Structure 1
Amino acid sequence: MSNLVILGAQWGDEGKGKIVDLLSEDADVVVRYQGGHNAGHTVKVGDVQTILHLIPSGILHPGKMCIIGQGVVVDPKALLDEIAYLEEKGIQVAGQLLVSERANLIMPYHRAIDKSNESHRGEKKIGTTGRGIGPCYADKMSRIGIRLCDLLETELFAERLADNLQNFNYILSKLYNLPELKFNDIFNEYQEYGRQLQQYVADTSLYLADALAAGKNVLYEGAQGTMLDVDNGTYPYVTSSSCCVGGSLTGSGVGIRGVDNALGIMKAYTTRVGEGPFPTELLESTGEFLRKEGNEYGATTGRPRRCGWFDAVVGRYAVRTNSLTGVCITKLDVLDKLPVIKICTGYRVGDELLHEFPASLTKLRKVEPVYEEMPGWQCSTVGTQSEADLPAAARTYLARLEELLQCPITIVSTGPKRDQTYIKTKMI
């Protein structure tokens, strides 16, 4: 038995979906443990591309059980739409998907509040997707959230909905000058969602406990990335959930014995979507080159991603905060045409040299990256199947990353397809 957490080790969008899909072959159960449909995982099998937002990438493998854990916030319409999307592609979902009865539901007032909050922030906006994720997590922590199991109890759902609408309609009308939401409209809409989703709802924590006791391999799939983690990331420019290894436990309902290894996914360069600090961001032609070559546009929003050189300060921070036992480098091929490649090894703030990622926004706004230059290889690495087949300069680059990260690189991805990858060390 070997159980593995796969998580983003930068600002998300590192290519986790492909790696989860690849390693799902050796898993019996695949669990999504946090986030909502603000995340997008793109998987390309052959020439067929599939974009997933809530359902684990393991769904593309027949016979694998996929679980949406209690740490995920679920928009029921988005989930039903995704199920329909997969079924239209001929992918079986019924019998392969379970959703935690403890998962909190995104409600219409969450979306309304999210969009209104963001629009009123002006230049100080966080860069949310406006899909209600943050307000739903806020309600969860305020203990007024509505869970899937609550939805399936009609009287309880009506009571919780009425209480919440009284509060949120006041905010919408008085603070944002928006029309109040109608109880009957929401109640009837969500009762229908509950009817359609009932077959998938289960005590997934118990299911996982039984699977672990039976010696099955469990793969935990994170969304977003370490630097967007609500506790460890570039706060307040973060998501609203725990993207790190700790979130895999609370978000799945398992204990520490449920995890054996943690694999951090990092691009061979760095990107982020939305607002907030980004020390290695390139605002000139090289940044545009990375965006174009890497097709750096959000799978969920379509927003162009900010691009920059690999940041080893961020990488070491992710290794430490997640106790990573391995790193996967993706999109190595995007660097193929560059004559010179840079790695950020530290930050300079005035006369101070930093080698660890600071919490202070004031410092992050002032940092100047300290770069180390390496020669590029200027030939194609697309589809390379082994380390020995890489150009010498690419091998040197990866070796330097491994040295700076103080963690072994166990997987290297050289293209978007499932087979454009080589595995140095098996982790599940």
Structure 2
Amino acid sequence: MIQIPDNVSKYTNVYDVLEERGLIEQCTDPKAMRDLLGSEKIKFYVGFDPTADCLHVGHLIQIIIFAYMLKYGHTPVALVGGGTVMIGDPSGRTDLRRMMDVEEIDANGKKFKDLFDRFLPFDDEWEYTGNGGVMKPGHQNREPKPGLAVSVNNAQWLRNLNYIEFAREIGSVFNVNDMLRAECYKRRLKEGLTFLEFNYMLMQGYDFYVMARDFGLKAQFGGNDQWSNIIAGVNIAKKKSDLDVYGMTFSLLTKSDGEKMGKTAGGALWLNEERVSVFDFFQYWRNVADADVNKCLRMLTFLPMDEVNRLSSLEGAEINQAKEILAYEVTKLVHGEDKAKKALEDARAVFASGGTNAATMPSVELDKASFEGEGFGLASLLKELGLAQSNGDAFRTIEQGGARINGEQVTDRKRRVTLADFEDGKLTIQKGKKKFIAVTLK
């Protein structure tokens, strides 16, 4: 379970704490939201569409928000999108999301809840008892137990909707011209937005309305890419039942170059060690760019801001101390203190051995076909593995003698990696003294 120390902030209003950490991006009414959080203990929700069977690091910000809100007496509602995921959120997408069957969706949703339980205490006796999508006011749910979060699945009301009735009651409050200007549709419009995806905003907006109407929720939070969908819910609640609710979005976890964090050569940075080892998870944060240290410490740890600013102001080789602390704190948050300590010890052992400790070295599987014939350009491979930020960075690394294959220095910028470089289907690529990855073939 996440434990936030008492000295995390001097503020007594959670809004000020979130603002201090640089988490808040947009709010429908900042003053009203701050006043509300300071004067009442509210219920709010964040939606999680179960598009996979595991949470990834992009979800971690929302979990941290839940932890802050719980500490300050508010009630988080984790809404698993077993209904919305059947349509698929087009936000930030250039392609149509993969269609999943109901069995896969429900299995993923259960695994999401299992992961939530690792981080937060839940009132598992509470359940949504609204009307399952009938377009009439439902009766009020009982209040959750103090200090606990609750979880609900929007499949309970979305899968039972009568489409014609829904279109008449909810579709009538949406203006298509306004929808087409929404940020969540812009990228998909270039490729061809389907009518299926066009319904997503209505569904998410309806979620907010249902939870406000039946359970007294006052706010919806989400990543900054959810702004248009959250606004839709605020408008529906006001137009249909004259409910005053609020929306707030949080900064996405992005690098200083604008790219999303959590993308590795092996895929997403998952929160389950069966998908990404604890050591690899630790190493990801240990190797973040210097420019990203402050943001990661602010958003992903509970260190006091004075300490965050002190660590992130370190320069030269000393910034590595801050990165080690960052890696330890985030790994402790996700995997627990014992595993974080073990990852720290292993990382130090690998560094001391010059990156040759195969038992703890981060690794990734790549297709054998990529290395057949002329093989894979070393510069491209460095970038692919996340050991270089760009092709230019990779070429400079090679020319300056900072790249090694199986421990041997390479200075030829045109060097290609072929099957002949692999020993028993494995090789080690290294950048400098501390960044290294074992590549195995599949």
TM-score over 0.5 for the alignment? no
The structure with the largest helix share of the pair is 2
TM-score of the aligned structures, taking structure 1 as reference length: 0.30
The higher radius of gyration belongs to 2
